[in-house]
Structure 1
Amino acid sequence: MHVAAHAGEPPFFAVSLVKLTVMSVCTAGFYELYWYYRNWQRIRQREGSHIMPFWRAFFSLFFCYSCFARIRDYGKETGMPMRVPAALLAAGWTVTTMLWKLPDPYWWASSLAVVFLLPAQAQANRLNAIACPGHQRNARLSAWNWLVVALGGSFTVLALIGTFVPE
């Protein structure tokens, strides 16, 4: 199913679980689309396929299972099975993401969608460490990340205040 990763490059997008969570919450979930995009880029490069990462990320509600399944399958091939079923992660992420349609304050539950990416990213991190031990682990926030956290975090706090503090 997979071709060997390019020299020095991990098979999946590398990002720490903390950074993934912080960036997801502070960007109202948009970092999750970036997460899908980067994983589809790595998958396309590794498999030599004609996958279009942008569209797979844009329509992630339809392609999330396929992404999780590729992480699962790569783990099976390397003798490291994924601990949480791909279907459960896909269903959980899809349902939780759709909660943004709920009325105040229940739509806040959609912020928990990132929880369903964490097991897949933990597996990807384990697979990356085996396939490419010296790769950049992407655990630190860059200057751009800090800017996004500051701006997005401010909007998140203001939205929380607007939702839960009486007028």
Structure 2
Amino acid sequence: MEMDNPYRAPEASLVESSEATRARSFFVTSLGKMAVLYVLTLGLYNLYWMYRHWSIQQPQMQEKIYPAMRSIFFIFFIHSLARRVRAALSETSRRAWSGGEDATWAVVLLIASNVLDRFSSHIPVLSQYSLPLLLLGLAPLIPLANIQRRANEAAGDPLGESNAKMTRYNVPFLIAGGLLWCLILIGIAGEFAGVA
């Protein structure tokens, strides 16, 4: 019979489990929270979203990366993020989702939105506050939400429940986004009043 030795160091596993490592491998957020922040900030949330994913990926990569630069140059790094998410998924999920299509759609929609925004002053139908231009600017949310859903799955939190509630850090963005939308709606109302 083995006696308990009060002077013996406690035994603990010094190697982290693969589940614990995987749980911290991607930024987890609920799709509802992501959608609210994306819409309220008119898509600027994608900069923070990309930054958070790459800052979490950084310790797992051999080469030194700059998450802020990968966030700013979003269109050049979204495909590699989607590939990393896909590689972390189970075999069944990998067969069901390639990731490349969502990344490509995000890039195409983002570029199309920016190009049309530049020409909005030359095309009367596409004024700065027109509904088609606003919807196109928000359209990248759809493929980005697909990537986020798979990132949540790969991190072991499919619904993003660990980051589903708005926090005090989100409040300034919610207020600023709400004010921005108020200004946009005032601009749209002013355009309609000018037409009538």
User: Structure 1: any 5+ residue segments left out of the alignment?
Assistant: none
| Closer/same/farther in 2, CA of residues 163 and 96 from structure 1, 3 Å limit | farther
Superposition TM-score, scaled by structure 2 size: 0.71
| Closer/same/farther in 2, CA of residues 82 and 62 from structure 1, 3 Å limit | farther
Instruction: Tell me the number of residue pairs that the alignment of Structure 1 and Structure 2 aligns.
Output: 161
Report the counterpart of residue 30 of structure 1 in structure 2.
44
Report the counterpart of residue 172 of structure 2 in structure 1.
147
Backbone CA RMSD of aligned residues: 2.7
Moved over 6 A (4+): none
Give how far 1:107 is off: 2.2
Secondary structure of 1:142's counterpart equals coil
- Bigger CA radius of gyration: 2
Q: After superposing the two structures, state which structure 1 stretch, 155-164 or 16-25, moved more.
A: 155-164
Secondary structure of 2:162's counterpart equals coil
CA offsets per residue over residues 10-43 of structure 1, 9 Å max, x none? 2100111011111111112121111111111111
Q: Judge conservation of contact 1:44–1:50 (CA < 8 Å) in 2.
A: yes
Secondary structure of 2:39's counterpart equals helix
Are positions 1:122 and 2:136 aligned together? no
Give how far 1:136 is off: 7.2
Paired with 2:94 and 2:145, the residues of 1 have a C-alpha distance of: 15
Secondary structure of 2:89's counterpart equals helix
Superposition TM-score, scaled by structure 1 size: 0.82
Give how far 1:82 is off: 6.7
Are positions 1:86 and 2:99 aligned together? yes
Instruction: Please tell me the residue identity of whatever aligns with 2:26.
Output: F
User: Structure 2: any 5+ residue segments left out of the alignment?
Assistant: 1-17, 121-126
Residue identity (%): 26
Q: Judge conservation of contact 1:61–1:94 (CA < 8 Å) in 2.
A: yes
Report the counterpart of residue 45 of structure 1 in structure 2.
59
User: 1:46-85 to 2 correspondence within 5 Å?
Assistant: 46-76=60-90, 79-81=92-94, 83-85=96-98
Q: Judge conservation of contact 1:101–1:107 (CA < 8 Å) in 2.
A: no
